[in-house]
Amino acid sequence: MLILYLDASALVKSYVKEKGSSVLAKLIATVDAGCLRVLSLGIAEVISILVRKHNSGVLPPDLYHSTLAIFKKSYKILA
């Protein structure tokens, strides 16, 4: 069984289209959802990256809020 470990930068690529996003999508499609792994710290890092992209203007407010909501729902983050 193949287990895929994603760090924060890879995980962001699955929510925000950037260089490498299409390669990551193909890689994720090769494993079962139960075989994806992320450290808890990685979740905090992803939120930090999204905030930085929003604050720098890379992510417009509507896209930032919807992406953050989808991410939180995906990982059952309450705050």
Positive or negative, the Cα torsion across 70, 10, 31, 40? negative
- pTM for this predicted structure: 0.71
26-51: buried (b, 16+ CB within 10 Å) or exposed (e) per residue?
A: eebeeeeeeeeebeeebbebbbebbe
> Domain locations in the chain?
4-74
Specify the pLDDT at position 78: 63
CA 54 distance to own-chain centroid: 14
Specify the pLDDT at position 79: 57
Per-residue pLDDT tens digits of the chain, which is 79 residues long: 788 988 999 989 988 899 999 999 999 999 988 888 887 788 889 999 999 999 999 999 999 999 999 988 887 776 5
CA–CA gap between residue 37 and residue 48 (Å, rounded): 19
Specify the pLDDT at position 41: 83
Task: Note the CATH architecture for domain 4-74.
Answer: 3-Layer(aba) Sandwich (3.40)
Specify the pLDDT at position 42: 83
Strand partners, 5: 37
